[in-house]
Amino acid sequence: MALPKLNNDQPTYEMVVPSTKSKVKYRPFLVKEQKNLLIAMESKDSKQILNTMLACLESCVEGVNANDLATFDVDYMFTQVRAKSVGETSSIVTKCGKCEHDNTVTIDLTDIKMEANVKDTVVKLTDEISVKMKFPTYKDIMGNDTIFGEDVRAIDVMLETVIASMHSIQTPDENFILKDEPREEIENFMNSLTNDQLEKINEFVQAMPTLRHEKEYTCEACGQSNVLELRGFQDFF
């Protein structure tokens, strides 16, 4: 006979999806999900970690397709699920700005806020050409070998992130959806931009919502007052 599976009642919580402002219900991790996350974290493989996070969200949050969520949606929602599953605090080791002593700082995950100063989604480059922007998903990011490649240059990451955030190019006569265009055509378009035009597009990317938190602490070794600034999901764990 097979052993019985426990049908434990799981507490249910509500949170708001940052990009859509819609409310969703979620439950904490089960042991199988926690185990998968630990295995992924130990691998230190960015793609494996992200794929496990996405699978975990789909299991724990009702009615979501994680591949359709903006990257910052995933970051925020995973942090909320993790807080209810493992604990509402996270310990971060950080160096003192004066003596470089390692200090352990405890962060309350329930205090984390989304910081956003989103620009207009349409960036006008000339009188006749505009770019419509979008919030990229982790599916967009993980499908890009340049971003996850070895010895990748910062400029390449920036350019690929910009491309992943572009939905379409608009002219008075046509609307070119980038996911339907050949890679060579997209690269030709990017290479034709001036620095000022690229900066206009990148302003949208830089202003996208992100997890942000500041925590003041006093160095246990020298007594120096410090401020720990965390930005983005990976800084919190």
- Residue 225: give the domain boundaries: 91-113+211-237
The tens digit of pLDDT for each residue in 195-208 reads 999 999 999 998 88
Domain co-membership, 109 together with 215: yes
Q: Kind and range of the H or E element at 84?
A: helix 71-85
Sheet-wide strand order for 225-231? 113-115, 210-218, 225-231
Domain co-membership, 52 together with 163: no
Q: pLDDT band at 237, cuts 50/70/90? A: low
**Angstrom distance (rounded) from CA 75 to CA 72:** 5
Give me the torsion for CA of 190, 193, 199, 205, rounded to 10°.
Answer: -30
Task: Say yes or no to pLDDT of 153 above 90.
Answer: no
Domain co-membership, 99 together with 134: no
Residue 101: how many other CB atoms lie within 10 Å:
13
Q: Kind and range of the H or E element at 42?
A: helix 31-43
Identity (one letter) of the amino acid at 129? Answer: I
The tens digit of pLDDT for each residue in 7-39 reads 666 789 999 998 888 999 999 999 999 999 999
**Angstrom distance (rounded) from CA 163 to CA 54:** 22
